[in-house]
Amino acid sequence: MSVRTATCMCGQLTATCDGEPFRISVCHCLDCQKRSGSSFAAQARFLADRVKTSGKAQMFTRKAESGRTSEHHFCPVCGSELWYIAQPFTDMMAIPIGRFADPSFPPPEYSVYEERKHGWVAITSEGTEHFD
């Protein structure tokens, strides 16, 4: 079983994940583009009871068009989002893959909201399922 640690930019806030991610995905929705500051967001979901956080975090709650909410936890020092919890999957923590700073991190299993994908983006990892 593996242990991975994600950190914010300044290192004040950490999330140590015990075991493999439950799901690894890439999302092209406009909200994830805004959240990540990029053309898509890549995240790994871990069962919340397998993640230990340390450091001080601030939280921002966002309400989606669906009416569901998501809680975004970020470092109050450097502003980096380290994890979010979104309804209805409140037993899972989603952590941006880049927070692990590990080029050997497993590839995504899913690429979703591809109808909003930038035309120059191609998710080519073998075995990745694609959804509009």
Domains along the sequence of the chain with CATH: 3-130 (3.90.1590.10)
| Token code pair at residue 56 | 């001080």
Alpha-carbon distance of 94 to 67, in angstroms, equals 19
| Token code pair at residue 16 | 């140590």
Instruction: Tell me what the pLDDT averaged over the chain comes to.
Output: 95
Write down the pLDDT at residue 64.
81
| Token code pair at residue 94 | 């989603």
Contacts of residue 62, Cβ cutoff 8 Å, sequence gap at least 6: 31, 69, 70, 72
Residue 115 — φ and ψ, nearest 5°?
A: -65, -15
Q: What is the pLDDT of residues 37-88, one digit of tens each?
A: 999 999 999 999 999 999 999 999 998 878 899 999 999 999 999 999 999 9
